[in-house]
A and B are shown apart, each in its own frame.
Chain A
């Protein structure tokens, strides 16, 4: 049986993981490659590296980093953050990343999904959607949740699928950082209306939240950052718990 995936997300700035991570058992907590390798060794099924650098040198730094990650880490990884044109995608894929997660650029230019899927295959294209539930409607936001758009979550996700997206990474802004569980209702609706995998993001605070997101939320993968970085939950504990609860998981 295909296993549900646990995906730690690492924020990267200028080639380093953003401070605040609380790891004592690796030499350089700032090195995304060391932290990623540790997660891989602990049983992470994939990794997401989200680049939040905002400089001219961004692409060069990111390409170098991706190559280092690909050399040292033997599980699939996604890179996101600031990919806005085919040339960026090409450079990152040639450097060895498995998938690209794109958000704002696709809202501005949905055709980029078609172009990326045709150029590199759907499996490379992870469409990231940040959305917020307000007055009963899920509004899609861009620029890291700062700018509301005229798009609605379910119609935008469906459009992304029909344009060739390989996966949807949905972050509920209502749940992100609150640690009271994932947006299971919206996730289940997404999962049922699309035939591509759904990665759930935003809201993980306890192990049972992952059980809920895989059962009630029908998600294919669960993504989290801080609970893993601050060791509130370790990946081996989480995976053992999920297996005991009857969730299909890779141990």
Chain B
């Protein structure tokens, strides 16, 4: 199994690498378009800011590489957001793989648990679809850190509630993405990563 993590100016690629190693997989971390295109599985991680990250991806022509991929691709966190149509963060035109758009959480002061932005911590995933998830994962807790979220739409394969329901995971054709961090979500996250590897 040849798994590639796309290397770009994003933080915390290390954690994804270590999580795959715990599953017995040694991923290759690269920005080389040929190696990315020929991998069995591609992971597009991301922690950072949307506008500058998209700008960087375009400069490196990685945007074209990503949208043309045919094998299973997994975007994580900012990766999910950049695979949507548009993000409110920096009014950024994104890759447009998914139909959904990305908006900022509006805190609701005084309401217990939803008065803080970012959402930081463990929340549940519901209404699960596709083989990225198995039935036992319904309503399980996974780890989130984000101030922006993707709306719920046709591509939604998991929802989570924080101020309102948002897309915890998306899928279209060979493209999958999670807003949460499977690499930091304990044994539940490890199962989800393993499911992706077995797609």
Contacts and interface: CB of A to CB of B under 8 A. Distances in A.
Interface of A: 1-5, 40, 45, 70-71, 74-76, 93-96, 98, 120-124, 166-167, 191-192, 195-197, 218, 220-221, 248, 250
Nearest to B10: A121
Interface in B138-175: 141, 143-145, 147, 161-162
Contact of B14 (A1, A70, A121): A70
B113 A248 contact: yes
Given A74-B183, A96-B15, A120-B11, A196 B116 contact: yes
Interface stretch (B36-44, B91-99, B129-137, B185-193): B185-193
Contact of A96 (B14, B113, B124, B190): B14
Contact of A123 (B15, B118, B122, B190): B118
A1 B144 CA distance: 12
A75 B123 contact: no
Contacts, number: 93
Given A2-B113, A96-B15, A123-B47, A74 B187 contact: yes
Given A1-B113, A70-B18, A121-B47, A76 B11 contact: no
Interface string B3-26: 000000001101100110110000
A74 B186 contact: yes
B120 A197 contact: yes
Contacts of B48: 121
Contacts of A196: 116-118
Interface residues of B, number: 41
A195 B107 contact: yes
A2 B114 contact: yes
A94 B107 contact: no
A196 B147 CA distance: 10
A2 to B, nearest CB: 5
B49 A5 contact: no
B120 A96 contact: no
A220 B141 contact: no
B149 to A, nearest CB: 13
B117 A195 contact: yes
Contacts of A122: 118, 147
Contacts of B117: 195-196
Closest 4 CB pairs of A and B: A96-B14, A250-B141, A250-B122, A3-B122
A76 B113 contact: no
19 contacts: A2-B113, A2-B119, A2-B122, A2-B123, A4-B121, A5-B122, A71-B18, A75-B143, A76-B184, A93-B12, A96-B15, A96-B18, A122-B147, A123-B118, A192-B109, A195-B107, A196-B118, A221-B121, A248-B113
